[in-house]
Copies of this chain bind each other. A is one copy, B any other.
Amino acid sequence: MVKMNVESFFPENIKTALKKNPPGAWMADLPADCIRLSSGYPDPALVPAEQIKAASATLIEEEHDLPLHYLGSPRMIKLKKQIQNRLVERGISIQEDEILITAGACQAIDLIARVLLDERAVVAVESPTYMEALEIFQNYTDQIITIPVDELGMQTDVFAAVLEERKRTGLTLPNFLYTIPTFQNPTGTTMSLERRKHLLELASEFDFLILEDDAYGELAFNENPPPLKAFDTEGRVFHVGSLSKVVAPGMRIGWIAGARSFITAFEWFKKDLDHPFAQATMAAYLENVNFENRLNTLQATYRIKCDILLRSLEQYFPEQVTWYVPEGGYFVWVKIPGIDTSQLLEQALALGVSYVPGKFFFVKQQVGTEYLRLSFSYADKEEIIKGIQKLGQLFSRLLK
């Protein structure tokens, strides 16, 4: 009998990945009754539980066992049309076979990485960026180029310089850029129209693809900027969207919209099959909701909650602290000079408030120690005020 050595069964690339931070390291264990300013969850009052209950009842009454098999529910086809129609509203004109339904944006990002990255590939990301996307890319490659974000979104001129330099010195150019141009996670900033156009020019010039994560794009306080995909004449942009932030994350419905030859390849490697019950229930829900009205409600609610959070920051946080004012989405990105926010999380949790320490949004984590991400989506108004007040006291004490 050979004594089994678990490690010996993993290929080298998997061994390397498993030595990095485990997934979800940024997710603290929250005490009961904690005010969750960390969670990127929708407002519980805006999750349409009753309508989804009604939708699943209608689904079974009308389709019987069909949505419980592998294939065959007419509403699985309908969901694609409904998403296609939503994309038209966003200025994206695309055929049905250019859309792949995924289990949320996360699976979409992983699938694109699975097909386009290997350990020799280079990927470009914004800095800071969505920590789960970073985790995914790090499972495939160590070669991650980071491009800074300011109040107008990703600095495309910096990206241009990096690309020029890599080209000049013969370094591999990125296979794709991962960007959240609208109401970015975590900064809340939105890429200007000028930079959007610049970015598409760069993609064409330096021959790379763009993974546009548009999970928050419909949650504008004022105006919805056009997604990058709306400017894409060459088929270089993958529009990754999700119903998690505008309907309910527990349904796990997202998509990739992109050029057919890529969609075919992504579908090839998507091995969880379709999710008929969830997809058809979502279609049944969408056919009975006025989505524009729903978006108006979401936008108004989140605008008010964001305002409350920003006013509370002004009132309770020490004056050295700065932040970006978001124009939509779920998040406010805060800088607390001289403080390591990851060191203070435990104390914040003891006070009954959670946030996400900034470092998790950076490839080189030491860069992000002075930042933290606050979410106004999940907590209610009173909780937001109370939570910011408590955090303000904690930080004020330390900044004296």
Question: Would A73 and B250 be within 8 Å (CB), given that A10-B115, A265-B18 are in contact?
Answer: yes
Interface residue tally for chain A (C-beta within 8 Å): 82
Q: Report whether A60 and B49 are in contact in the complex, using a CB–CB cutoff of 8 Å.
A: yes
**Separation of A261 and B8 alpha carbons in the complex (Å):** 12
Interface of A, secondary structure class, is helix
Please judge, given known A-B contacts A60-B49, A204-B1, A261-B6, whether A139 and B269 are in contact too, CB under 8 Å: yes
Residues of B within 8 A of A44 (CB): 64-65, 69
**Nearest neighbor of A45 in chain B, beta-carbon distance:** B65
- Name A253-281 residues within 8 Å CB distance of B: 259, 261-262, 265, 267-269, 271-273, 275-278, 280-281
The answer to whether A104 and B272 touch across the interface, beta carbons within 8 angstroms, is yes
- For the complex, give the distance between the alpha carbons of A103 and B104 in Å: 14
Provide the A1-31 mask, 1 if CB < 8 A to any CB of B, else 0: 1101010111111100110001100000000
Known: A13-B118, A115-B10, A277-B251. A52 touches B68 (CB 8 A): yes
A273 and B106 form a contact (CB under 8 A): yes
Residues of A34-67 contacting chain B, CB below 8 A: 41-42, 44, 47, 49-50, 52-53, 56-57, 60-61, 64-65, 67
Given the contacts A117-B11, A249-B68, A271 and B106 also touching, CB distance less than 8 Å: yes
Min CB distance A78 to B, Å, is: 15
Question: How many copies of this kind of chain does the complex include?
Answer: 2
On chain B, the residues within 8 Å of A259 by CB distance are: 6
Q: In the assembled complex, which residues on chain B have CB atoms less than 8 Å from the CB atom of A109?
A: 271
Asked whether, in the complex, the Cβ of B70 is within 8 Å of the Cβ of A41, the reply is yes
CB distance from A326 to the nearest CB of B (A): 21
Across the interface, which residues of B come within 8 angstroms of A273, CB to CB?
A: 103-104, 106-107, 252
The CA-CA distance from A269 to B114 in the complex, in Å, is: 11
Shortest beta-carbon distance, A336 to chain B, in Å? 27
On chain B, the residues within 8 Å of A136 by CB distance are 271
* Contact between A236 and B271, CB atoms less than 8 A apart: no
- Residues 188 to 232 of chain A near chain B (Cβ within 8 Å): 204-207, 209
CB-CB nearest in chain B for A109 = B271
Q: How many whole Å from A118's CB to the nearest CB in chain B?
A: 4
B250:A68 contact, CB within 8 angstroms: yes
Q: A69-B248, A248-B69 are in contact. Are A103 and B50 (CB under 8 A)?
A: no
14 further A-B contacts with Cβ under 8 Å, apart from A53-B60, A249-B276, are A1-B205, A4-B234, A6-B262, A11-B116, A11-B118, A14-B116, A41-B70, A68-B249, A70-B250, A104-B273, A106-B271, A250-B275, A277-B278, A277-B281
Q: List 25 A-B contacts (CB under 8 A).
A: A2-B204, A2-B206, A2-B207, A4-B235, A6-B261, A9-B262, A11-B118, A11-B120, A14-B265, A18-B268, A42-B69, A47-B65, A49-B60, A52-B60, A53-B60, A56-B56, A57-B57, A68-B249, A69-B248, A103-B275, A106-B272, A107-B272, A272-B272, A275-B275, A277-B278
